[in-house]
Each structure stands twice: as structure tokens, then as C-alpha cells.
Structure 1
Amino acid sequence: MATLLSLLPYVLAIPAALLSGWLLLRYLQEREYRRRPYVAPTRNDWLLHQPDPAATLLHRVALLGDPGAVATDGTDAILKLLANWQQETQAEGTIILLGDNVYPTGLPAPEHTGHAAAEKRLNTLLAALGAFSGRVILLSGNHDWNKGRPDGYEYLLRQEAYVAEHLPTAFYLPPGGTPGPVSVQLAEGLLLIVLNTQWWVQQGARPAHDPKEPFRKLRKLLNENRHQRIVVVGHHPLYSNALHGGKFTAKQHVFPLTTVYKRAYVPLPFVGSLLPLYRKLVGAAEDMAHPRYRKMRRRLLRVLHEYPNLIYAAGHDHNLQYFERSGSHFLVSGAGSKTAFVQKGGQATFVHEHTGFFSLDFYTNGETWLRTLEPDADGQPLAEVFRQRLHPGPVVAAPIITANVLQVSADVR
């Protein structure tokens, strides 16, 4: 026994040394590519391709996720970039906020100490959106539901009512915290489908629904509208090379509390690796690995994979990511006010740890182009770091099916 105990430090030292070596290698690799745009080798000629200058723009969609921490003093770079996009687009466009509209916990009750700061952020955001002559659609995210806590439904309803009062031309979808799907005809041959993915992972009160029924309705909508270009939006991504997809930096293994608060530099070497491992394999409620999220994701992908050429866009992770899977296109556009680590490679075609948002440009010739818009410190557009044609066109014309579709008047601001 004494001999075994004397060998124990050496036995423990081996995995500790291996883990230390792996973390050091990861750290050195991350230093080389962090905050730099990554494009998969199969798309490294993207700069040579661009839309036909003679093509006519049908509609343009801005996908702005997680804008809930915008600066309220008029200096916010993302809002300035969005203003440029609005001026370029005019009325032939739609801005979609992909949730987490107010950090850290949505819009608290008026008597709550955090209400004034949250209201100020939301007012700043709504003022920027109110200047747009096109359509505005807001989704809810986990932070809008008080970070998914049991009383989150109250927070969601309060925010929805506030938006209806202060920006009545905007659409908060799906209404009343229901799971959806809700459809909006953006233009001829272009359909938007909105899901409230938070409904499936939310704790506590929420509108009563059969959790399988929304997927049946979604399949019916997709089947009826095969002739159209379709964009599906929700807050939660279905593919991600970032935190909620189980990807962590070497620093987060040594300082695991920085995943919750960026300045919490409490060193917990070796033990700290248990938190990333837990979130990768078991998951917090907002992670892909969590059973509720995993079930929702599996069911949703099962439906979406039946219909190629779809575009699914989400926020949630604070970066820009693009994946091409099973003939469809999956976007993460959650860098509306924060940035966080995103791992290069894997299944991703493009990733970038930078503030910004994706724009989808739909042309009358059937082509759809994905553009990456990122601001400098003053809010001016930086040089484009990635674009890709998602739909080659032409699209065969067919009558628009209006059943189960939310009709939006053309003069909506």
C-alpha cells in the first residue's frame, strides 16, 4: 500500500502534464487565428465572385442578433453600421432582430433596480429601428426571458408590450411567447418563417402547446411553399463552433469563471477543465448539449433537412458563422453588441470573432447573396471579409400560397 501511495503523485503527474501540453498548444494556435476571419479552403476564391451589377434587387434582409448591450450615448458602431444599411436599402428591406434584445435579463419590472438601464438600452435600439422605412421584426432570446428563469414569461410579455407601445409598426414574433411557426411574405417568392426556439428550453410558465405540433406545422408550411425562397429564423443556432456549441478557449480551461464574467480571472487549473467538459457533454440550459436544446435541435433539423436550399439564421453565440449542411445554409449572426471566441475549421465555411451582422440580398433573377457587414470603431463599414451566393437562380414562378401566412402591408415602417 505504501508503495502504491508513493507512486500516486507520478501517476497524477502524467495526465496533468498531457493536459498542460495540450492547453499550451491550443493557446498558441488560438493566438494565430483569434479575431481573424476564417474561410474554408473550398471557398478561398470568394473574392472573385460577386452579384451581377445588372441584376435587380428584390429584397434585402439584415440579420442582427444579440444587440442587447448597445451603447446608449450615440457612439455605438453597430447602430451606425445599421444606419448605413438602412440608407442603402430604403423600404425594400427587412431588419430582423434575432433575440437577446436587452441584456442582461430582458426588461425587468418598473420597480426593479435594473429597469432604468434596460429601458434605456431598449429605447436606443427602438429609436434606431424607428428610423427605417422598411419592415422591422423582433424575436426573443433566452436573455429576454430573464435568462430562461421560471419567471421569464413575465419578462417576455413586458418587453413585447413595450415594443408595441414605443414602435407599433414593428412585429414581435411569434406573438405572446408562443412557439410558432409564424410566416411573413417579405416579397414575391420570398417567405420568412419565425420560430420561438426559447419556448422549447424555457423553464417555468410558458404558453401551453404540444411540443411536437410546431414541427408538424413547419413541415406543412415548407411543403406548401417549395416554390419560394425560404428563410427560417430562431434565436438558437443549429450548428456552432462557439461557446454554446461546446467550444472553449485554453484560457477558459484555466480561468473557467471567465465564461460567466470576462474579468473573473480566478485560476483553477486542471479542475477548471471540468466546466468546459460539463458544458460540452451535458450543457447548461442555453447549450446545444442540454437535453431540451438537443431534442429541439434534433427535431428541427429532421424537418429542415427534408427541404434543401433553405436558409436558417440565429443569434445566441456572439460571432459570425456560416455552415453549409445537407444542401441548406445555416447562419449564426449574434455579434450585434458583443463578441466571443469562435473556433475555426470543423464544419464551418466561414467564422469571424468580430462585431457585425449578415445581410441577405435577394435578386429578381433568383440569386441570393450572403454579405458580411462589420464596422470599424467609428461605425464605418470595413472591407468585406466574406460573401457567397446561396441560391443560383432562376426561381420558377408560381402562385404564392397565403394560407397560414401573416400578411404584412407594403407600407409598414
Structure 2
Amino acid sequence: MAVSLSFLLYATVAAAVLSALWLLLRYWQERQYRRRPYVAPVRNDWLLHQPDAAKAPQHRVALLGDPGAVATDGTDPILQLLASWQQETGPAGTVVILGDNVYPVGLPAADSAGRPAAEKRLNTLLEVLRNFPGRVVFLSGNHDWNKGRADGYAYLLRQEAYIAEQLPTALYLPPGGVPGPVTVQLDDDILLVVLNTQWWVQNGARPASDSKEPFRQLEQLLNANRHQRVLVAGHHPLYSNALHGGKFTAKQHVFPLTTVYKRAYLPLPLVGSLLPLYRKVVGAAEDMAHPRYRKMRRRLLRVLHQFPNIIYAAGHDHNLQYFHRYGGHYLVSGAGSKTAFVQKGGNATFVHEHKGFFSIDFYENGEAWLRTLEPNTDQNTPEVFRQRLLPGPVVAPPVVTTSLINESVSGA
């Protein structure tokens, strides 16, 4: 018995030492790249490639996600950058707000104590968009649905009505909280498709719909528009090297409560690793690992993987990420007002833990270029990444007649 106890003690100590060494190594590695732009080695030559400067874009799309915590005193760097983008772009442009438009819980009821602060944040964003001569499209995210709680549908409808009243020219899509898809023709051969991804992960009331039917409609829609350049927008990412994709920092293993509140430095070594493990394997309601999110993601990717050169844009994770997977382009542009850890490498071509947003420039020759826009006081600082997404004239590939709705898709 004594031998068994001694072995158990030594094994526990050894496990603790190995865990501590692993965490120290992880922490050291993270310190080498945290908040620095990462570009995959195969794209290290990105600075050598750029669109023809002599040609103006046919249409530009700004993809701004998670702006719900912008500064309301006129000093917000993202809103200043967005205003500059709007002035440069003019009417041949579209601003897509990718959800989580008001933190922390969307737009509360008129008699709620949190209503004035929420209105102030939302009004600050609307004011920047008010004089833009192009198109403005709003999506909803989990925070706009009261963080996915059972009464979130009422929050969604309230915010949609408020934006319609304050900025009547803006589109809030899909309307009424339905899952979609809905389309907006941005230009002659440029189509925006909007999905309400929160519908699939939402608790409580929501508009009735067959959960599989939107994917069938999306497949039919994309098949019918193979001659166009298509941008699909939803709040939830389909690939991510960040929190909702199950990626955590070494600090979060030791201080797991900081994932909820950044100043909650209560050390819980070893035990603290259970939370990252849970969110990676089981998942909170807004994580890729959660059963509802996982099912939605799997079905959506089964459709999108059929269509080469599809562009899918999302927010949700508070950073900038670009993935080129199965011939498609997958963006995370959720750094509109907050930033959070994003792991380099893996399947990512580019990641950066920094405030900013992506812009896509569509050209008449069929090209589409991704630009990374970040606020910086040093005007001589070059952009941190750009990428040609579409190479030239759109050529319709052979029509796929067999639905892939029931085939499998690999994970993130």
C-alpha cells in the first residue's frame, strides 16, 4: 500500500512538473508572436503582388465585425478608419457589419438600466455610416440576441427596428431573424449572400424553419450564380485559430477565469486546463465544438466546398484571420472593437491579433483583392497583408448535379 501511495505521489509531482514546463514553453512561444502579423511561409512574397494601381475597383466591400464596444467620444480608431475608407470608396461600395453590433447584450428594452449605454454605442456607429453614399448591410450576432439567451429574439427584433428608424437606408439581413439565405446584388456580377448563423445556435424563440432547408436553398442559389463573384456573409466563422475554434493561451490554462473576465487572475493550475479542454471538445454554445454550432458548420461547409472561389466572411472571434481551404476563401474579421488571442500556423494563411477589418476590392477584369486595414498612427507603416482572392474572369465550372448535403466535411 505504501509503495502504491509513493508511486501515486511521484506520478502526481511528475505530471505537475511536466505540465508546468509545457505551459512555460507555450508561454515563451506565444510571446514571440502575440500581436504580430503572421503570414504562412508560402505567402511570404505577398508584398511583391498588388492590383494594377492604374485601375480603380469596380466595387469595394468593407467587412467590419463585432463593433459593439466602440469608443463613444469620437476617438475610436476603427470608426475613424472606416470613415476614411468610406470617403475613399464613395458610392461604389458596401459596408457589411458582421454582427455583435452592441455589447454586451444587444439593445435592451427601453426601461432597462443598460439601454442608454447601448443606444450610445449603437448611435456612434450609425452616425459614422449615416453619410456614406454606398450601401450598408447589418447582420446580427449572438450578443445582439442577448448572448443567445431564451429571450434573445425580442432583442434582435428591437435592434432591427431601431436601426430601421435611425438609419432607414441600411439593410438588416436576413429580416425578422429568419435564417436566410437572402441576396443583395452589389454590382453587375457581384452578389452578396447573407445567412443568419445565429438562428442555428440560438436558444428559445426564433422564426420557424426547417433547419436543413436553408442549406438546400443556398446550394441552389450558388449553383444558379456560378457566373457571378459571390461573397457569403454570416456571423460565425467556419475556420478559426482563436477562442471559438478551441485555441487558448498558456495564461488561460493557469487563470481560466480570464476567458470570462480579463482581470480574474485566480490561479487554478491543472484544474484550470479543464475549461480549455471542455471548450475544445464539448464547447460552449458559441464555440465550434458545441453540437449545434458543429452541425451548422458541417452542413454549411458541405455546400460551400462545392463552389471554387467562394468567399465567406464572418466575425465572432476578435482578430483577423484568412484561410484558403478547398478552393474557397474564409475570413474572420471580428476585430471591430476588441482583440483576443489567435494562434499562428495550422491551416491559416494570415492571422493578426489587432484591431482592424478586411476590405475586398472587386475589379472589372474579374479579380478580387483582400486588403487588411488596421488603424495606425504611423502613416508610413505598410499594410500587413493583402491577397488576390479571385484571379481574373469568372469561368463557370461544370455544374454539379449531385447534392453533397449528406457527405462529410473535415474539422477546423
Instruction: Tell me how far 1:314 sits from its aligned partner.
Output: 0.1
What residue is the counterpart of 1:64 in the other structure? 64
List per-residue Cα deviations over 1:144-202 (Å, max 9, x = no partner): 00000000001000000000000000000000000000000000100000000000000
Pair 1:36-2:36 in alignment: yes
Equivalent residue number for residue 393 of structure 2: 394
Q: Distance in 2 between matches of 1:195 and 1:369?
A: 23
Contact 1:81 1:381 in 2 (8 A): no
Structure 1: segments with no counterpart, 5+ residues? 398-413
Q: Distance between the aligned counterparts of 2:377 and 2:58, measured in 1?
A: 31
For the 8 Å contact 1:182–1:193, the answer to whether it is kept is yes
- The Cα offsets for residues 316-373 of structure 1, whole Å up to 9 and x where unpaired, read as 0000000000001000000000000000000000000000000000000111000000
Asked whether the 8 Å contact 1:308–1:328 carries over to 2, the reply is yes
Deviation at 1:395, TM superposition (A): 2.7
- Partner residue in 1 for 2:330: 330
| Residue pair 1:58, 1:364 contacting (<8 A) in 2 also | yes
Asked whether the 8 Å contact 1:374–1:382 carries over to 2, the reply is no
Letter in 2 for 1:317: D
Instruction: Show the 5 A alignment for 1:194-205.
Output: 194-205=194-205
What's the CA shift for 1:228? 0.3
1:202-217 counterparts in 2 under 5 A?
202-217=202-217
Q: Is the 8 A contact 1:55 1:365 kept in 2?
A: no
Match of 1:113 in 2: 113
Between the two proteins, the alignment pairs up a number of residues equal to 396
What secondary structure does 1:78 align onto?
helix
The residue correspondences of 1:13-32 to structure 2 (distance < 5 A) are 13-32=13-32
Alignment of 1:75-94 (within 5 A): 75-94=75-94
Q: Give the AA of the match of 1:177.
A: G
> Taking structure 2 as the reference length, what is the TM-score of the superposition?
0.95
The 4+ residue runs of structure 1 with deviation greater than 4 A are: none
Distance in 2 separating the partners of 1:260 and 1:171: 32
- What is the CA distance between 1:96 and its match in structure 2? 0.2
Which deviates further from its counterpart, 150-159 or 7-16?
7-16
Residues 1:188 and 2:188 are matched in the alignment: yes
Provide the C-alpha distance between the structure 2 equivalents of 1:6 and 1:351, rounded to a whole number of angstroms: 47
Q: Cα deviation per residue 1:219-242 (whole Å; 9 max; x = unaligned)?
A: 010000000000000000000000
Change (3 A) 1:370 1:281: same
- Distance (whole Å) between structure 1 residues aligned to residue 106 and residue 311 of structure 2: 27
Shift of the alpha carbon at 1:127? Answer: 0.6
Mapped to 2, the partners of 1:61 and 1:338 lie a distance apart of: 21
Tell me the SS of whatever aligns to 1:99. Answer: coil
TM-score normalised by length of structure 1: 0.94
- Residue identity opposite 1:156 in structure 2: L
Deviations 1:274-330 (A, max 9, x none): 000000000000000000000000000000001110000000000000000000100
* 1:377 Cα offset (Å): 5.5
Amino acid in structure 2 at the alignment position of 1:8: L
The alignment-based identity, stated in percent, is 78
The code of the aligned residue for 2:185 comes to: Q
By relative contact order (CA 8 Å, sep 6+), the higher-ranking structure is 1
What does residue 405 of structure 1 align with?
none
